[in-house]
Structure 1
Amino acid sequence: MQAVVFEETGDPDVLHLGDRPEPQAGAGQVLIEVRAASVNPADVKRVAGSFGEVELPAGTGYDAAGVVLAVGEGVDHLAAGDEVFGLGQQTHAVRAVLTAAARKPAVWSWAEAAAAGVAGETADRGLSLLGVSAGDVVLVDGGAGGVGTFAVQLAVARGATVIATGSDRNHDYLRSLGAIPVRYGDGLADRVAAVRAEQGLGEVTAVFDVVGKTPAEVLVSLAPRPEQVVSIANFDAPAHGARVTGGGDGVTDAATSLAAVAALADRLTIPIEKEYPLVQASDAFALVAEGHVRGKVVLLP
């Protein structure tokens, strides 16, 4: 089976199209014919060896969208022929197994559905950990990227007021998502205070860091309590009383989060920065590695 593989860790140029064993759906899983799969920052880090030792050769990919070919034991809400999106392993391939899946909304393209997997689930999970609801004032640190785009829109859909950081070039984009933009970097706390005063907003009630660039002590200074800061990328955060989430937090399971994202399909903007064929996976990974992508990069088998 054709799939993106690597025999050594390193830069994206270690990736190539190779052959992998045919996947099989286990209990609670679904096997799909992949129509699109996104490239996430975690993919780049894994190939680089940042997550520690990898059993080689290895495949890549954590999410995908496609057509169900078979379902594993215990899956009774999906059947062969259903169009789905979700989370899995080694999804940059012509066929893949999803460990958590939801039905693909008809209004989404295959690329949009693939882009909603990791980013959508992560955003919903983080907001759930923070207990974001109507009336909250939420700071999303890094609102223009893949996870940030979903986090802003999902928080707005929950009835929160969202302040989102981004570069100056992304401020109009953040406004289009429903956020109040502020520039990231030194002086962030002062700029957030100025925006709150200007907009007549109350205290920030939750901080969701999706890029890991702002020092944890600054993020904590913006929240009512340290535990009301959740990060997906700043691993110094716990030393300051904040929380880091990497999945499995017990607030929502992945399938529930995916379904929650799908239910808002008509209200979500899912920007696709660029689409590549599988054979150009190294180019897709290099673009994501640059760290300036607005939205998502997608691979098409």
Structure 2
Amino acid sequence: MTTVLPERAGRRCHNVLNPLHSCHYFSPDLGRELAGAGVTDDRAAYLAVRSAAMGAVGAGTVTATFYTFRHDLVARHVPEVWRAASPEAVLAARARAVDATLRRLLGDEVLASAEVAEAARLALRATEACTRTARPLYAAHADLPVPAEPYLALWHAATLLREHRGDGHLAVLLGAELDPVEALVTHTATGKGMTPKWVLSTRGWHRADWEAATGRLRERGLLDAGGELTPDGAALRKEVEDATDRLDAAPYAHLGAAGVERLTELAKGLVTRALTAGAFPGDAFGRG
């Protein structure tokens, strides 16, 4: 049974669930576990961890599904990374890192709480309405088993919901004619994306790429001379997010308005605690 939700309720729920998934990318636990598996380069680690569910895929597949990464960077590490560690070994290392990260950020008492178990049940219920069609990263992760521990099941569900929304978002970016760097520049300009420093250091682009994309966006009337979104630019980013909401509506409609509200409340409490514990670098997000 589905219900009509309040405007942006699904997006708000996603926005507080997503940090529960993504905090492990910034965790020293991930680097330690992957180094033990044979992957020591930070950028190779991210590429391997996020793509491992698809198997030992090549650079083209990773570039296509990640969208905002420079292909030269991806090709430098993929498929070479699979010679250091199999996808199965990477997934196992990721699972250990997620466990350690959540324990460190939230504490064993919280992870064993009834609230976390409730959040896991609600998030997994939402994933029942996710669809695999044209969603490669979601589909690959949906084939992985659900962990038995409720806090890891919550993380797994948050991952599915993140990748489901993300796959749809890429289709919307293509429709908006925003190439990978233009998508990054406009997202950063909203104040909600990663800072240029973090984008350039993790995605493989150069300052010249960023400036060239900025120039193209100015020519389209989407950025002003100071690098801020123009009214047309802000309208386009709103259209992108609204269209992404439409493509991602099914899981939250399936969960229902009351369930979405409760899951948002529970996840917000967990994320607030994780942020207080230093889940993310202080300079990672914003205009920079």
TM-score of the superposed pair, with normalisation by structure 1? 0.29
More helix per residue: 2
Q: Per chain length, whose mean CA-contact separation is higher, i.e. which structure has more relative contact order (CA < 8 Å, sep 6+)?
A: 2
TM-score of the superposed pair, with normalisation by structure 2? 0.29
More strand per residue: 1
